[in-house]
Amino acid sequence: MLFHVTMTHTMDNCPGYNQERFPELLAGFDRLDAAARELNVKIHFFVDGLPEHVAYALLEADNPSSVAFFVSQIPIRQDFKLTAVEHVGDIVEKARTMMPHG
């Protein structure tokens, strides 16, 4: 399954305003690939929306709990929203198979 993840944090938890947290943040991001492998999460993209306090990711996993555990490995206190998504091409193909033949 594909999941679009929107991650938001407050100014109080923003590494840009709390630069003393850089070592913890960098170490956490260095561990993300290993966490993804352990949780069987594939990272399609992970981008930051600076200067807003938001980041976005497209992740592939068997279930939403794997994605939630993965995102919780990021050492920033933040809220996140998981949205199951599907490629438009896959939806079009499903729609074609559902069309009445006539």
Query: What total number of domains does the chain contain?
Result: 1
Instruction: Read off the CATH number of the domain in which 90 is found.
Output: 3.30.70.1060
- Residue range 37-96, pLDDT digits in tens: 999 999 999 999 989 999 999 999 999 999 999 999 998 999 999 999 999 988 889 889
DSSP structure string for the chain = -EEEEEEE--GGG-TTT-GGGHHHHHHHHHTHHHHHHHHT-EEEEEEE-TTSSEEEEEEE-SSHHHHHHHHTTSSS--EEEEEEE--HHHHHHHHHHHSPP-
- Write down the pLDDT at residue 102: 56
| Reported pTM | 0.86
Residue 41, domain extent? 2-98
